[in-house]
Amino acid sequence: MLTTTAAVSCRCFWERNRAVSGFFPRSFSCRAMEVPAGLSAGKESSALPAAAALPNESQPTPATPVQITVLKAQDLKTIKSDVSVTLVRAEYNGAILGDSSKTDVLPDGTANYNFMTSFECSPDGPNSLNDTAQKPVLLTVIEVLQREQRQKEKTVPLGQAVVDLLPLLQGQCSFKVSAPLYAVPTSPLESLHPEAKGGLEVTVCTKEPLLSAAQLSNGNLLSITLEAAYSVPEAFAATGPLQNYMACLQVPAAGEKEFPLLFKNGILKLAGEKEPLPRPKKWPLANIMAPGALSIPNSFIVGGPYEDEDGELNKREDREFRIQAESTKRIVWDMERRCYLDPAAVVILQKRIAECQYWPVEVCGMSVASSSKGKTSKANKTKSQHSVFRDLRAQLSLTKEGSWTPGISTPLSRAVPSKTRKEDKEKMTKDKDSNRRMSNAPKIQLSDATVEAENVTYLSLDGQQYVEAGTFLVMEIKLDKALVPKRLREELTRRVKQMIPPRPPLPPRPAGAKKAVENYHNHVTSIAVAILSEYHELFGKQLPDQGAIDHQTLEEQKRQLNFELNSSGKYFAFKEQLKYAVVKIVREKYLKTTAFETQEQFQSFLSELYVYLMDEMHIALNQLLSEEAASPAPLSRTTEEQLWLFAREAEVNKDYKLASLYHQQRVAQDQRNIQYWLDYGAFCLLLEETTKAQECFQQALSLDPHHIQSLLLCGIVAVMLEHYEEAEIFFEDACCLEPSSIVAWTLSGLFYELQNNNIQAEMAFREAKKLLQAQLAKERSIPEAAEGEEGKKHISAGCVRSPSPGPGECLPERVPDGSADKLSEVVEPALVCVAPEEEATALEAALKAPSPVSGLSQPPCTIFMKAVKFLMKVNAVQFVHRALAHELLSLQGGPSCAYYLALAQTYLLKEDLSKCEECLCEAIRIDYMNPNVWAQKGHLCYLKRDFGEAKECYERTISFVEDAADMHFVYLRLGSIYLEEKEYGRAKQTYLLACKNSASCLTWLGVGIACYRLEEMVEAEDALSEANALSNTNAEVWGYLALICLQGGRQLEAEQCYKYTVKLGLRNDALLREIRAAQQRLGFGNPAPLSTPSGKGPPRRSRPTPARRDPRST
C-alpha cells in the first residue's frame, strides 16, 4: 500500500490547571501544514533509548489478579415483568470470565447472585494496564426460560451493564459500584438508547495495588475523545458499499513500542439536526447488545462557546461556518480511548514533543461487504488512509499542573473538569506547491491506498476537496497530570518573601497600666488647660510685670471661678471626662474588677487610690506648667488627593524636585498605604531611578504579598535590572494569585518572549485573549439586553461618540472583513519572533502603514492595549514598546487611534517631538472626534511654544461632550495662554473650571492673576490666599500678594510677602521687576537697606486680610 505523508500544524501545550480533582485542558482546533522534508520514523524515535534506560522498578507488577464480585441485581421486573430465573455472565477484553448459578428473582425484582470471578492483569499478557484503562467489565443478565418437555434449556439476554476499572489505576485496591443495567432490545424497532431500568451491585478488588507508588506519582493517564469529522466532502456518500470509518493515534510506550489508539465504527450522517449537547461518550466496544451500555457513566461531551476553544476556527468570524458544519454531512464517533503512560512512556512523550515536531493521526475509510445471509464480513482488503500529523515540537512549558493539548493554546485554570472541551479541527487539504500558500491556508495531503480487490469500489479523495469543504476533526485530549511540574502557590509565596526583606516591627505601644496612666495624664492636662482658659476669660491674663496678686483677691477669683464652672455645667463635664480615665487605672493598675467584700476594704482602697491619683495629677500639672509648650504645628489642609495632584503638576512642569517632595509627603502621611509607594515608585521610573523604584515596589509588596499590582511592578523592575529569575517568580505568582487578570497574563507573555520562551509566551497571550473575549462578551450582553427591551428605534441612542455618522457606529464588536483576518493570521505567528532590536523598526513602520478610513467603528480593545494602559500609568516605557510592537502586528485593519496615541505619549516622554507629531496626525486622521488626541496635540504644541496652535487644540478639547483624560492640565495650559495673550476674562473662567474639578495652588494662582489684571483686588486676594493655603512655598503667589498689599497700602504685609518672594527664589523676572517698580513708585514694600525711601508710605488699611501661611510652618 502506498502512502503519501502530510501533516497538520496542531501545536501541543501542557496547560496550567488549578482544579483540585484533576487537570483538564480546553478545546483546540488547528489547520494543516505540510510536513517538512527529512521527517522520518528514525528521527521521531530518537528519544526512545534514553527513556528505555529508566529503572525497572517503574514496570507494573506482573500477573496481579483482579477479582470481580456481582452481589445482586435490582429492579429486574422493570425490564420484564414476568422474569423468574436469571443468571449473570461476566466478560472482559473479549473473553468470558464465567456464568453465575441460576438465581430466582424475588417479587421485588431483586436477584442475589454473589457471583465471584477474576482475571489476571499483567504488563505483557493479554490484559495489560492499557486494557484496564480503556476496557470495562461487561456484565450480561440472562433470563433462563422454563424448559418444555424434551427441549433444551433456552436463555435470552435481558440486560447489560459495564463496570469501569479506572479506579484501579488511580491507587485504589477495591471499590464498590452500582452499575446501571440497560435492557437488550428484543427487536430493531425498539429505541436504540433506552434509559437504565435496573442495576447491578458490583465490587472490584485486588490484593495489592496495580501501580506502585513510583508509577502512581510519575505515571500519567492519557484520554482522547474523538467526537466527529465535520464538513466532509461530497465524495463521502451513503450510497455504495458500507464504510467503516476509523482514526488511529500512536501513543509512545516504554522501550521501542508504540501503543495504538484506534477509533472504529464512525457513523456517516447526512444533513440534518446537529448532535445534541450534552451527549455521553462511548466505550470502544463492539460486542454490546444493549446500546445504552455503550455510554460511559458520568462522562459527557458538553460543548461550549467556540471562543473558549484552543487552536483555530474559534474566532467570531468562524462561528457561522461552525454552526453550518455541525448540521451538514459528518462522520460521528463520540468515542473515548484511554491509555496509561508509565514513567518511562511519560519521559519518552516529553522528549518526543521537545525533539520531534509531528505526531501522526490517521483517518481511514474501509469498505465492508455483506454476505447473502446479512452477516458482515471481516473487512475489505482496500482502505483509503488519510494521514494527519500534529505539530508537537514547540510545546515545552514549565507548568506543574494541567493538561497538554494540540493547538494554539493558553494556560487554563478551571475547577469543573466536566465542562472542559478540546477540539482539534484538522484541516485536511492537499497542495503540491506549499510555497504558494499563506501560513493560514490548509495544506494536508491525503494518501490513497492502492486497490487490491476487483469487486470493491475504490474511494479516491482529491486533497483539494478537503480545502473546498473545510473538513475538520473535533477531538478532546486530556491528561490527569501535567507533563512538566508547575510551581505551587506556597512555593511562589515563599520565594517572594525571600526576595522581599521583612519590614521592621512596629514600635511597641504602651499597654495595660502604663497606657492607663498616660491616658489619665492627658485628661488632667486637657482639663487644666480648659480651666485656665475659663480663668483668662473671667479675669484676663496676668502679666509678670503687674506684680503678685494678694491672697484675698485670689480667693475671690477662686470663688467666682467655681461658681462659673458649676453654674455652666462645665464642672460636671470635666468630672465625667475624668471618670473613664480613673476607671481604666482601677482595672489596669490595681486589677480591681469585682465588688469589695466589706466596707472597710472599700474605704481603704479609696484612700489609696486618692493618694495615687493626686500624685499623678501633680506630675501631669508640673509637666504642663514647668515646660514652655511649643506652639503646635498647624494642621495641614492638603489631603492625599491634593498631594497626588500637586505631584502630577510638578511632573508635568518638569519640577521633579518638588514632585519628589510631594510624593515623600504622601508616604510620610501613611507609610502603610500601598498605593502611595506604588505612585512614588512610578515617579522614580520616570526619572529612570530603577533601583529606587524597586525599593518602593518591594516596600509595597512587603505590606501585602498578595497585591497583584505590586507583584507585576516588582517583576517589571526586575527585568529592567536584568534579574530574570526574580522577575519570573513575580509574574508567575501574579498569574497564580489572580488567574482572571488580563494584564498579568499579558505582561507574563511579554516577559517570556523577552526570554525567547515562545511556548510560555504564546500560552500567556492565549489565556489573556480568552479572558478578554469573556469580558467583552459580558459587556456586550448588557446593552444587547437593554436594546431588546427598548426596541430597534432606540439602538442609535447607545452611541455617545463616533468619528462620523454611519450605520455601523453602534456596533463596536463588528468583525472586520476577511482580508484583515488573513493579514492577522499571517502576522500572528511572527509575534513570538519579534526581537528587541526590531521593535523600534516595527513601531516606526506603523507610521507608514495604511490606516482605515476615518468614520469606521474602532476595533475592540486588545490585551496589549490594556497592558499599555497599565504600563503608561507606571512609566514602564520598555514594556510599552514591546506591547505596542505586538499591537501593531496583531491588529486587523491596521493600527488604531489608541495605538498611535500611546506611541505619541512614549515619544513625548523622550521629547522626540517630531515623531510624536507624526503619530498624532495619524491618530487624528483615524478618529478626529477623540478629545484625548486633541489634548495630546495641544500639549505637543505647547511644548513647541506654538501657543496659537495649542490654544486651538485645547479649545477644541474642552468643546467635546466627553472630557479628555487630563483635563486639569488642559485648563492650566489654556489659561496660561490666555494670560499671555492678555485675555484675562477668559483666563479667569478657564482657571475657575479647573478649580471646580480639581483645585490646586496653580489653579487658584491663575484665578488670582487674572483677577489682579482685571483690577478685581478683593477677589484676587481671596484666590491668592486659597493658593497660599494649599502651598505656601510658591514664590509667585507671594509675589502677587506683595503687589496687592502694595496697591492696598499695607506696608508691613507687603514687606513680609516680598521677603518670602525673594527667599523662595522667584523665577519670573517680569513679575519681580513689576514688584520693584511698584515699590519704587509707592515708596515702601522693600525692607532692604538703601532701597526704601525715607518718607512714610500710605497709611495701613484696617481691613482684615485673609490668613496666609508662613512657609516656616512646614
pLDDT tens, position by position, 1027-1065: 999 888 899 999 999 999 999 888 889 999 999 999 888
Q: Tell me: pLDDT of 354 over 80.
A: no
Distance CA 401, CA 764 (A): 15
The pLDDT tens digits for 997-1018 are: 889 999 999 999 999 999 999 9
Instruction: Indicate the range of 838-842, 961-965, 975-979 predicted with least confidence.
Output: 838-842
DSSP 8-state class, residue 1001: H
Distance CA 368, CA 243 (A): 6
pLDDT number for residue 535: 83
Residue located via cell numbers 468630672? 575
| 641's grid cell | 488627593
Other C-beta atoms lying within 10 Å of the C-beta of residue 363: 23
375 pLDDT above the threshold of 50: no
What is the three-class DSSP state of 1113?
A: helix
The pLDDT, as a whole number, for residue 503 is 65
pLDDT classification of 637: cutoffs 50, 70, 90: low
Nearest in space to 1064 (alpha carbons), one of 1090, 1042, 1092: 1042
In this prediction, residue 1099 carries a pLDDT of 34
Q: Is 442 in contact with 32 (CB distance < 8 Å)?
A: yes
The answer for residues whose C-beta is within 8 angstroms of residue 459's C-beta and 6 or more apart is 235, 243, 365, 367, 384
Task: Using CB atoms within 10 Å of the CB of residue 666, give its burial: 0 to 12 exposed, 13 to 18 middle, 19+ buried.
Answer: buried
CA distances from 314 to 11, 308, 325, 424, 820 (A): 15, 7, 13, 11, 16
Residue 437 above 60 pLDDT? no
Question: What mean pLDDT comes out for the span 15-33?
Answer: 32
Sign of CA dihedral 401, 405, 408, 412: negative
Confidence of residue 852 (pLDDT cuts 50, 70, 90): very low
Cβ pair 803, 774 in contact under 8 A:
no
Burial of 1107 (0-12, 13-18, 19+ CB in 10 A): exposed
What pLDDT shows up at residue 970? Answer: 94
- Contact, 249 vs 361, CB < 8 A? yes
**Which helix (H) or strand (E) covers residue 176, if one does?**
strand 174-183
> What stretch of H or E contains 279?
strand 279-282
- Rounded distance between C-alpha atoms, residue 825 and residue 820, angstroms: 9
Predicted pLDDT of residue 141: 93
Phi, psi of 370, deg, nearest 5: -105, 140
Percent of the chain with pLDDT over 70: 71
At 136 the pLDDT is 94
Q: How far apart are CA 420 and CA 26, in angstroms?
A: 5
Closest CA to 746 of 724, 711, 771, 723: 771
Q: How far is CA 693 from the centre of its chain?
A: 24
- pLDDT exceeds cutoff 80 at 274: yes
Mean pLDDT within 483-496: 80
* 3-class state of residue 130 by DSSP: helix
Is the pLDDT at 425 greater than 50, yes or no? Answer: no
Instruction: Catalogue the long-range contacts made by 903-909 (C-beta closer than 8 Å, 24 or more residues apart).
Output: 903/843, 903/846, 904/936, 904/940, 905/872, 905/936, 906/872, 906/877, 906/880, 906/881, 908/936, 908/939, 908/940, 908/943, 909/686, 909/875, 909/877
Tell me what pLDDT residue 994 has.
Answer: 93
Residue appearing with cell numbers 474523538: 226
Does this model's pTM top 0.85? no
Give the pLDDT of residue 466.
76
Grid cell in block for residue 946: 506654538
Of 829, 7, 23, give the one whose Cα is nearest residue 404.
23
* Phi, psi for residue 390 in degrees, rounded to 5: -90, 135
Q: Which three cell numbers stand for residue 593?
A: 474588677
Instruction: Please name the residues in contact with 767: beta carbons below 8 A apart, sequence gap of 6 or more.
Output: 410, 411, 412, 745
How do residues 408-419 score in pLDDT, each as one tens digit?
A: 233 323 333 333
The answer on pLDDT for 985 being more than 60 is yes
Least confident of 90-99, 506-515, 881-890, 1102-1111: 1102-1111
pLDDT for the residue 268 = 87
Contacts of 54 by beta carbon, 8 Å cutoff, 6+ apart: 254, 343, 344, 347
Tell me what pLDDT residue 439 has. 29
Residue 426's beta-bridge partner residues? Answer: 30
pLDDT tens-digit map of 886-930: 988 877 677 889 999 999 999 998 889 999 999 999 999 999 899
Mean pLDDT of 67-80: 89
Q: Strand (E) positions, 57-94?
A: 64-74, 85-92
Q: What is the DSSP string of 96-126?
A: EEEEPPPEEPPTTS-EEEEEEEEEEE-SSSS
Q: How confident is the model at residue 791 (pLDDT cuts 50, 70, 90)?
A: low
User: Could you please report the per-residue DSSP string of 840-895?
Assistant: HHHHHHTTTS--PPTTSPPPPP-HHHHHHHHHHHTT-HHHHHHHHHHHHHH-SSS-
Question: From CA 722, how far away is CA 878, in angstroms rounded?
Answer: 13
Phi, psi of 111, rounded to the nearest 5 degrees: -130, 120
Residue position matching grid coordinates 476487483: 454
Q: What confidence tens digit (pLDDT) does each residue in 157-193 have?
A: 989 999 999 999 988 999 999 999 998 887 555 554 5
For residue 59, what is the DSSP state?
S
Q: Give the span between the Cα atoms of 423 and 427, in whole angstroms.
A: 12
Q: Which three cell numbers stand for residue 76?
A: 429486574
Rounded percentage of the chain residues whose pLDDT exceeds 90: 33
Grid cell 482601677 is found at: 586
Supply the pLDDT for residue 826. Answer: 32
Q: For residue 159, give the nearest of 288, 286, 298 by alpha carbon.
A: 288
Packed helices 1035-1048 and 1017-1030: angle between N→C axes, nearest 10 degrees: 150
Listed in sequence order, the residues at least 6 apart from 101 whose beta carbon sits closer than 8 Å to its beta carbon are: 87, 113, 115
Residue of 113 and 367 predicted with greater confidence: 113
Q: Which range among 161-170, 647-656, 768-777, 848-857 shows the weakest confidence by mean pLDDT?
A: 848-857
pLDDT band, residue 575 (cuts 50/70/90): confident
Distance set, CA 268 to CA 230, 271, 278, 300 (Å): 10, 10, 20, 21
Q: What is the pLDDT of residue 1103?
A: 35
Q: Comparing 13-27, 172-186, 332-346, which segment has the lowest mean pLDDT? A: 13-27
Query: For residue 385, what pLDDT band results from cuts at 50, 70 and 90?
Result: very low
Closest CA to 1044 of 1080, 1079, 1012, 1004: 1012
DSSP states along 376-407: BPS--S-EEEEEEEEE-TT-----SS--EEES
Model pLDDT, residue 484: 76
Query: Contact at 8 Å (CB) between 927 and 854?
Result: yes
Read off the pLDDT band of 508 (50, 70, 90).
low
Nearest to residue 285, comparing CAs of 119, 91, 479, 422?
91
**Does an H or E element contain 815, and which?**
none
10 Å Cβ neighbour count for 572? 11
Q: Which pLDDT belongs to residue 781? A: 78
Give pLDDT, residue 900.
93
327/190: higher pLDDT:
327
Q: Tell me the residue type at 466.
A: Y
Nearest Cα to 88, choosing from 194, 172, 181, 10? 181
**b/e code 137-164 from CB counts within 10 Å (16+ = b):** bbbbbbbbeeeeeeeeeebebbbbbbbb
- Is the pLDDT confidence value at 598 over 50? yes
Q: Mean pLDDT throughout 308-331?
A: 83
Cα–Cα distance for residue pair 1099/1084, rounded to 1 Å: 11
**Which residues make Cβ contacts (< 8 Å) with residue 71, sequence separation at least 6?**
112, 113, 114, 200, 201, 202, 203
**For residues 1000 and 987, what is the distance between their CA atoms, to the nearest angstrom?**
16
Computed over every residue of the chain, the mean pLDDT equals: 75
**Residue 700 pLDDT grade (very low, low, confident, very high; cuts 50, 70, 90):** very high
pLDDT of residue 511: 59
End-to-end CA distance of the chain: 93
Query: Are 32 and 427 within 8 A, CB to CB?
Result: yes
Nearest CA to 993 among 1012, 969, 1013, 971? Answer: 971
pLDDT level of residue 316 (50, 70, 90 thresholds): confident
Q: What number of residues does the chain have?
A: 1114
